[in-house]
């Protein structure tokens, strides 16, 4: 069983990304939140033991996926997208691709959130693909300011991901690499 404070910490870390994941299949935002809240409520009751956070994380994405699938299948309302959604939800490769995108968003969000407000805004706009000039217009600040703050912000982010990375590299020595694949298939 999980303690409330631990579960809350996990919730704070993953809730938003699980909701946006569900939102790929369920169009109602409220329904998405509902699904993910249920996932956490169930988790609270579960006697499952997770050896580490990675397996817990996998579990969260997988149960969210299953719940979405159930909802779509049991939805009385005929949704013309339902068939494609079901197909997509059943595709393991697609599942991994989706989780990958959600995880990238989640980690970036976490990192960007540590930046001061102006830098945060600039990074968000530039991730959207806006040019420096457009960012400057958008935020009504000088182009030079955008350039300076942007480069500072990127520097901070770089530093963070450089340091945060638990494993920077784990390559098995060259010779061994040919004999064993990188990771045993599970």
Partner 1 sequence: MNTIFHISRLIIKKKLDVLTPAEKLQLKELKKKYPFLSKTDFTKVSDTLSSYDTIDKDKAWKNVVLKAEQSKSKQKNLFSNKSWIKYAAIAVLFLGIGFLFQQGYFSTNSTLDIPNEFITLELENGSTKIINEDGTSELVDKKGNIIGNQKGKILVYDTTITNETLVYNTLTVPYGKRFEIQLSDGTRVHLNAGTSLKYPVKFIKGQNRQVFLKGEAFFDVSTDAKHPFIVNAEEINIRVLGTQFNVSSYLEDEQITTVLLEGSVGVYSSNETYNQETATLLNPGFKAEWNLKNHEIKVDKADTETHTAWMEGRLILNGVPFNDILKKLERQYNVVFINNDKALENRRFTARFDVENIHQVMQSFSYSASFTYKFDSNKIIINP
Q: Is residue 183 involved in binding partner 1 (CB under 8 A)? A: yes
Q: Is residue 11 involved in binding partner 1 (CB under 8 A)? A: yes
Query: Angle, nearest 10°, between helix axes 53-74 and 92-112?
Result: 120
Q: Where are the alpha helices (DSSP H) in 75-116?
A: 82-90, 92-112
- 10 Å CB burial of residue 25 (0-12, 13-18, 19+) is buried
Q: What is the largest CA-CA distance in the chain?
A: 58
Q: Give ∠ CA 169-175-176 in degrees, rounded to 5.
A: 65
Q: Is residue 91 involved in binding partner 1 (CB under 8 A)? A: no
Q: Is residue 37 involved in binding partner 1 (CB under 8 A)? A: yes
| 27, 28, 55, 84: which one binds partner 1 (CB under 8 A) | 55
Q: Which residues bind partner 1 (CB under 8 A)?
A: 8, 11-12, 15-17, 19-20, 23, 29, 33, 36-38, 40-42, 44-45, 49, 51-55, 57-58, 62, 93-94, 96-97, 99-105, 107-109, 112, 124, 127-129, 154, 157-158, 161-163, 165-173, 176, 180, 182-184, 186
């Amino acid at each position: 069983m999980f303690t409330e404070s631990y579960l809350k910490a996990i919730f704070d870390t993953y809730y938003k990304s699980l909701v946006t994941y569900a939102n790929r299949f369920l169009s109602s935002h409220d329904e998405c939140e509902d699904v993910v809240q249920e996932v956490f409520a169930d988790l609270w009751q579960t006697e499952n033991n997770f050896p580490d956070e990675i397996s817990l994380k996998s579990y969260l994405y997988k149960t969210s996926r299953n719940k979405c699938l159930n909802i779509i299948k049991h939805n009385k309302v005929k949704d013309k997208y339902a068939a494609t959604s079901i197909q997509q939800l059943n595709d393991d490769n697609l599942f991994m691709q989706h989780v990958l995108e959600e995880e990238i968003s989640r980690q970036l969000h976490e990192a960007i959130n540590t930046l001061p407000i102006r830098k945060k805004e600039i990074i968000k706009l530039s991730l959207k693909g806006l040019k420096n000039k457009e960012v400057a217009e958008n935020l009504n600040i000088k182009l030079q300011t955008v350039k300076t703050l942007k480069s500072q912000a990127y520097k901070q982010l770089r530093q963070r991901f450089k340091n945060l990375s638990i494993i920077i590299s784990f390559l098995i020595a060259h010779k061994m690499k040919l004999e064993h694949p990188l990771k045993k298939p599970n």
